[in-house]
Amino acid sequence: MRNFHNILYVSNGLGDDSEGLKQALSLARNNKAALRFLHLYPELPADQEEYQVKYRTFLADEVADILQKTRVSLGVDENMVPVEVEVEGNGETPAAINVIRHVLRNDHDLVIKEAEPRKGGKGFMAMDMSLLRKCPCPVWLARPIVRSRGAIRVAVAVNPESRSDAERDLSLRLLELSRSLADSCSGELDIVSCWDFAFERYLRENTRVYIPEETLRSASLQAQSTHHSGLSDLLQQSGIGGVFQVHRLKGRADDLIPAFVHDKAVDILVMGTVARTGIVGFIMGNTAENIMRQISCALVALKPSGFVSPVKAY
């Protein structure tokens, strides 16, 4: 199943790109997709303009070297996955904005980037968060994966209780993409969905209001049944096959999903950012941000169809 056709791999030259580039080359190979390597670099001061040509040549040679080494490690030659390389000075524009402009101008349908190192290994730094909030196409933030390809564990977080057609469409796309990724890895997919009866938690913590225990239990069971039924309908509508395990968890998603990712040693988490469609620059929902702050695995994030980036192509 092909999901991507025009992939952009981004490097700012501040870390080791080998892991992210491996994932980009593998994905391009599996999807028979075009791949562009965009290397953004800080420009030299104006008084050192005479060194610009040598500087750019050095950077281009460095990109060619890491690309060749990564090709050899994967056994992917140039004929199998041709890569267009672009070395560009970042200037005063934030790097994430430059990346999004490339996406808009060249119609890329996926951005892959090595996640910037962060103390403690969890969450994402400013550039990565900016891409997650504002980039119109899916964003893949790569992190090192120690398992072999055939053992990589993929999980997807979905919410069957959609408030709009766009959110339901997003859940279906998440299932389709994660199924495809899992098929290219271990073949096994973990589907995680959380349900939470917040009214029950509020009443149990509020001693001034008395509701019979049986009433609370009945209402909670009804909420559980509604969620389970909705999830079953969503899975059936998606039409995904293969090997998968469904995990229905009771509680807050921003607590349970990071714990699940950690406990199950998930390598790649696929999830959505609930941005309102058609509203320029509306940031992702709080739940999504809270989850992202706590995970240390690779992340593939999708936005609902119709999302409008606040960034312009020029």
Max intra-chain CA distance, the chain = 80
Which CA distances in Å does 312 have to 8, 129, 306? 18, 18, 15
Domains annotated on the chain, with CATH: 1-144 (3.40.50.620), 147-314 (3.40.50.12370)
Residue 111: predicted pLDDT:
97
Looking at residue 204, its pLDDT comes to 61
> Would you state the pLDDT for residue 166?
84
Determine if the pTM surpasses 0.85.
yes
Going residue by residue through the chain (314 aa), what tens digit of pLDDT does each one get? 457 999 999 998 766 778 889 999 999 998 999 999 999 987 766 667 677 778 888 888 989 999 999 999 999 999 999 999 999 887 788 899 999 999 999 999 999 999 988 877 899 999 999 999 999 999 999 998 888 888 999 999 999 987 788 889 999 999 999 999 999 899 999 999 998 876 666 666 666 666 677 766 777 788 888 889 999 999 999 999 999 999 999 988 989 999 999 999 999 999 998 654 443 434 456 788 899 999 999 999 998 888 888 888 87
Residue 188 is encoded by which pair of tokens? Answer: 């096994």
